[in-house]
Every structure is written in structure tokens, then in C-alpha cells.
A and B are shown apart, each in its own frame.
Chain A
């Protein structure tokens, strides 16, 4: 199985400041035949199902604000919230879908307001 490791477990950021979440996979999730990284990011607010934010490591899902961006390739990835808003308080998960079964998720990063 591909193990996904997120850091930090939690972070507190002031409104309007940048939040950065890291995700590392135990094996590369880059598929050489199409040069795509099979890596997604989700946001989960309390009492709600997860919401897809980013896929192919850097493609923003339709309707997702452009303050959310993804970067990285191979085994190291980052989700950045450029200017944290109150509505961004949530837990964020990375997910690899390169090697299934199983799909695997990171342990989650809780983002709060400082």
C-alpha cells in the first residue's frame, strides 16, 4: 500500500495569512504514461462529507476559490491557502489514487484561526 503522510497535524493561521499543508507519499504517484500525479486534496468541515478541492495535484475543482492551490510531483505535495478566510476552517486530506486497491488518504491536517 502507498502510505500518505501529512504534516503538520494541525496549524493555526491568522485571517488573511497563508496556510501550507504538506503531503508525502511512500511511493511516487506520478504515472509516467500521461505525466499526471494521481493526488487529490479534500476539505472536510464538521458534520459534512469531504469536498474535492484539487486533483492531478494542481487542478482546481470547478467552483473552488483560487486562494486554494496545489503543487508538487512524485512523492512530495503541498496544498496552499493563500489568504485564509474564516470559512476555510476545516480538516484537509490528501489522497492518492495511483495504486488501487487500496486508495489511501493522509491522516488529515486541522486548520484553525489564530
Chain B
């Protein structure tokens, strides 16, 4: 079964760093892009960026470029989303998702992680 399993909920203070994870199973991790999507409380979906684990090619939304870092460790089939200094406005649910066809980022997401809730509060 193809699955993306994300790390658990986090509660952090402003200024702290954080890395959340997305572990893939059931398919060839290096052959599919993985994207990250933010959903702020009560709001819609925002695409943050995507990575191709095969060669670490990474694309960011201009809205998130410089604010987060997307990475992947192909030896353990895991993608990451990282912040260097969190803000209260980073409070949101974060989803990882995989496109429905290998090798292309220009595909819809047919597999989603369960989401990781990040709360940033002093």
C-alpha cells in the first residue's frame, strides 16, 4: 500500500527551529516528486514547494522561498520541511503529498499524508 506517514503535532515558541517529516512507503521514493501544502486554521490550501528525491531538485513557491527548506533523505525514504525561526503566523496544518505519476511535478496529488499540526505560540 502506498502511504505517506507524517510526524506528530508540534508546539513551539516563536524563534525556535523545527523540522517535520514525511515517510514514504509502498513505492519507489526516488521516482516521484513530493510536495508540501500549508493549510492555516479555517483557510484554504497553499502549495509551498516540491522536491524530487532522486536528485534533490527542489522548487519553491515564491511565497515560501527563503522561509522554509524542503529536503529529502532517499536512504530512509523521508522528506522534510524545516524552519529556522518560527513565527506565530506559521501556525497551520502541513501536508505532504505525492503526484499520481512518477517523474513529473506537473501532476495532481493522489496520495496525501495525514497532516502535521504546527502551533507556534509564546
Tell me which residues across on chain B come within 8 A of A103, comparing CB atoms. Answer: 35, 47, 50, 61
Q: Could you tell me which residues of chain A, from 92 to 113, have a CB within 8 Å of some CB in chain B?
A: 93, 95, 97-98, 100-108
A52 and B44 contacting across the interface, CB-CB below 8 Å: no
CB of A73, distance to nearest CB on chain B (Å):
17
Tally chain B residues at the interface, Cβ within 8 Å: 26
Tell me which residues across on chain A come within 8 A of B60, comparing CB atoms. Answer: 101-102
Shortest Cβ distance from A55 into B: residue: B108
A97–B59 Cα distance when bound, in Å, is: 13
Tell me which residues across on chain A come within 8 A of B106, comparing CB atoms. Answer: 38, 97-98, 100
Tally chain A residues at the interface, Cβ within 8 Å: 24
A93 and B61 contacting across the interface, CB-CB below 8 Å: no
Residue among B50, B105, B108 with most chain A CB within 10 A: B108
Shortest Cβ distance from B115 into A: residue: A49
Q: With A55-B108, A97-B106, A97-B107 in contact, is A102–B100 under 8 Å at CB?
A: no
A50 and B108 contacting across the interface, CB-CB below 8 Å: no
CB of A61 closer than 8 Å to a CB of B: yes
- A residues near B (Cβ < 8 Å) are 1, 38, 40, 42, 44, 49-52, 55, 61, 93, 95, 97-98, 100-108
B49 and A52 contacting across the interface, CB-CB below 8 Å: no
B108 and A105 contacting across the interface, CB-CB below 8 Å: no
B108 and A97 contacting across the interface, CB-CB below 8 Å: yes
CB of B65, distance to nearest CB on chain A (Å):
9
CB of B95, distance to nearest CB on chain A (Å):
5
